[in-house]
Chains A and B, each alone.
Chain A
Amino acid sequence: MKHFLAYNKAMLLLVPATAFIFIVFVYPFIYGFLWSFNFLEGDWLANYKSFFSRGDMYPTILVTLKLSLPVTIFNVLLAIPIAFALRQKSRYQKMVTTILVVPITLGAVLLAEGMLTYFGPKGWFIQAIAILGIDDPKLIHNATGVIISLVISGFPFIFLLVLSYITGIDPGLPRAAATLGASPWEQFRYIYLPLLTPGIAMAFCLAFVQAFSVYPSAVLLGSPAGPTRVISIAAYETAFERYDYSMASAVAMIMGFVQLIVVAIVLKLRGLFYRGPVTGGKG
């Protein structure tokens, strides 16, 4: 009985966090979810039907996926070799990490402003390559601009995650593999990669969700009327330009659902891999 009470008292410590999650996430989510249906106006699925029939709505899913999936895959593929090369503690590791973390602190808007002038027709990047006889490659006001911005802001995040997973792997394991005849590539292929896969999957999910909800750079650096009309733009317009909160809630729900499907697929694939401890013994 005493144990039971002690246990329950300890459970009280969970109350503030649970209440916080409920107030700022669970309640608004349920509220939005319910509001996305038109219970009062007859057809309760009207918003969803409208989304999938309107030419300015349903294509945004594909547009957003076309931006966020390639960017996330590219970021992950780029982060793995760089993190791998920097896995040993050195001054380079510290230096590169610091340089890479800076974009995280900048924020999307500042980054977009910078890119607008730098890659703009009067920007010195375009001026410089013009001297070399290269035409303006049009790096802003289109999908390319959004992709560049998503790489700059998304890469450090994935890199730091992957680096922490790599440094968590017992360095004795690749050494043991080396004494058994594994070349550096084979050490990576048979030891690092399988042990990293679950971590990479998690990093992929987090980065994907971030990229899928892209808004500022799609507006500032893209062409929000057409090729980079992402789903968050559709939601914003519906809510704050047409004041149709019910429809906007439906858009937000669809956005969340698409993210959920991608995350579920990645986590399902992750389940096929080994997910235990990444050290080589009990010592």
Chain B
Amino acid sequence: MNHDFTTLHLENMTRRFYNAGKEFSALNKMNIDIPRGEFITFLGPSGCGKSTALNCIAGLFPLSDGRIMLDNTRVDNLPPEKRGFGMVFQNYALFPHMTVKENVAFGLLMRKTPKSEIEKKVNVALSLVQLSDQGTKLPGQLSGGQQQRVAIARAIVIEPPLILMDEPLSNLDAKLRLEMRSEIRRIHYELKRTTIYVTHDQDEALSLADRIVVMEAGKVQQVAKPQTIYSAPATIGVAKFMGYRTILKADVLSIDGDKAVLSGKGLNITAKIMQPIKGKKALVAIRPEDFNIGKGENNIEANVEMMEYCGYNSQVTLKTDGGEIIHMRTPGVLQEKQKAQISISTERALAYPAEGV
């Protein structure tokens, strides 16, 4: 394949299934341009179509509609072995009957690379993932983290124009996951290869990606830098997924520029409009750590239902007199079963149109 592509174009990428006579779109008109060298993450809950998208790009699933273009070359009609994209699988998919070295050498062997060159490249790849001394072992003799690194070495040794990773860290324990996350980032900056990384973990996506594609129900919801996705989700769905746990239903009283004055269940809130609000009802999404103790721009009085100590801060669940549940994270201390005065700034209360109203 052409290694020096400038942009990977996903054009109207669609994949449909037929189940019991009903059509179902696992992936619906995905449109994204990915420049060379970018680390892009497909993020979303399970069943959102992110893995389907990755498998379509790899060539393991055929497209129902749309095209995949490497610059001006169409690749979606090629079988996976002709695309030459490196892929790291969720369960690693290491060949159990081959040693670590043979696993890594497999792609080079298929490319009829000369023996001496294979030896050299395999050694470089293994040292990149810090497994130089494990070359003669079988995958079954390695720990989960080591297997994961073999899988990465196997995918990068063929110097693919594109590296695809399908939830590569989801089978590792929490500590190892953090280590491997840094490792993947280090390898990416060392090789500067275009990487598409699929995950359901917001932290992974935020820390690794240059750009995040948030998906839901087969559709792209938002494509933006991690900072934007985190602080300004484009839709209520993205907000929910990015950890905006408090969702308040409210009536629209008035709209003034990008601010909306809302009221509902005894609360009056002025919020920042994220998506044009046409109806009379709106949803306000607020992240737990954006609430403050004490008075501020939007004041809320609520009863402290539960305090969960989490180390450097606490998770607090509050209930307003109107029955709204508020989730808050604060380093401060509140008393359980007592009234508390909290507030939220207008900038950090995000207003979205209420679904179906």
Within 8 A of A (CB), among B106-149: 106-107, 110-111, 138-140, 144, 147
Q: Which 6 A-B pairs have the closest CB atoms?
A: A274-B97, A281-B92, A180-B107, A181-B110, A283-B91, A280-B93
Residues of A within 8 A of B110 (CB): 177, 180-182, 186
A172 to B96, CA, bound (A): 12
Chain B interface size range: 35 or more
- A230-272 vs B, CB cutoff 8 Å, 1 = contact: the mask equals 0000000000000000000000000000000000000000000
With contacts A176-B154, A182-B110, A281-B139 known, what are 5 further pairs, Cβ within 8 A?
A: A180-B81, A182-B81, A281-B147, A282-B144, A283-B90
Residues of B within 8 A of A178 (CB): 59-60, 79-81
Contact A279 B91 (CB under 8 A): yes
**A-to-B contact residues, CB < 8 Å:** 170, 172-173, 175-183, 186, 190-191, 194-195, 273-274, 276-283
Within 8 A of A (CB), among B81-108: 81, 83-87, 89-97, 106-107
A281 to B85, CA, bound (A): 21
- Whether a CB of chain A sits under 8 angstroms from the CB of B158 is yes
Residues of A within 8 A of B158 (CB): 180-181
- Contacts A190-B106, A276-B138, A282-B147 given: A176-B96 contact, CB under 8 Å? no
Residues of A within 8 A of B89 (CB): 172, 175-176, 280-281
Nearest CB of chain B from residue A274's CB, rounded to whole Å: 4
**B-to-A contact residues, CB < 8 Å:** 58-60, 79-81, 83-87, 89-97, 106-107, 110-111, 138-140, 144, 147, 151, 154-155, 158, 164, 171
Residue of A nearest to B86 (CB): A179
Residues of B within 8 A of A279 (CB): 91, 96
Contact B96 A278 (CB under 8 A): yes
A196 to B48, CA, bound (A): 36
Contact B81 A277 (CB under 8 A): no
Contact B80 A179 (CB under 8 A): yes
A-B contacts, 8 of them at CB < 8 A, read: A173-B95, A176-B95, A179-B87, A179-B155, A182-B81, A182-B110, A276-B138, A282-B92
Q: Per a CB cutoff under 8 Å, which of B60, B81, B94, B154 touches A281?
A: B94
Residue of B nearest to A183 (CB): B81
Nearest CB of chain A from residue B29's CB, rounded to whole Å: 25
The total of Cβ contacts below 8 Å across the A-B interface reads 102
Q: Per a CB cutoff under 8 Å, which of B60, B139, B151 touches A175?
A: B60
Residue of B nearest to A283 (CB): B91
Nearest CB of chain B from residue A279's CB, rounded to whole Å: 7
Residue of B nearest to A186 (CB): B110
Nearest CB of chain A from residue B68's CB, rounded to whole Å: 15
Residues of B within 8 A of A277 (CB): 96, 140
The secondary structure that dominates the A interface is loop
Residues of B within 8 A of A172 (CB): 89, 91, 93
Nearest CB of chain B from residue A61's CB, rounded to whole Å: 36
Nearest CB of chain A from residue B159's CB, rounded to whole Å: 12
Residues of B within 8 A of A191 (CB): 95
Nearest CB of chain A from residue B257's CB, rounded to whole Å: 50
Residues of A within 8 A of B58 (CB): 179
Q: Per a CB cutoff under 8 Å, which of A274, A278, A280 touches B91?
A: A280
A121 to B338, CA, bound (A): 101
Residue of B nearest to A187 (CB): B81
Contact B93 A281 (CB under 8 A): yes
- Contacts A178-B79, A179-B80, A179-B85 given: A276-B91 contact, CB under 8 Å? no
Residue of B nearest to A182 (CB): B110
Contact B171 A283 (CB under 8 A): yes
Contact A181 B84 (CB under 8 A): yes
Residues of A within 8 A of B151 (CB): 281
Residue of A nearest to B110 (CB): A181
A175 to B83, CA, bound (A): 13
Residues of B within 8 A of A281 (CB): 89, 91-94, 139, 144, 147, 151, 171
Nearest CB of chain B from residue A272's CB, rounded to whole Å: 12
Residue of A nearest to B83 (CB): A179
Residues of A within 8 A of B107 (CB): 180-181
Contact B96 A274 (CB under 8 A): yes
Nearest CB of chain B from residue A198's CB, rounded to whole Å: 10
Contact B140 A276 (CB under 8 A): yes
Residues of A within 8 A of B144 (CB): 281-282
A182 to B103, CA, bound (A): 13
A177 to B95, CA, bound (A): 9
Residues of A within 8 A of B97 (CB): 194-195, 273-274, 276
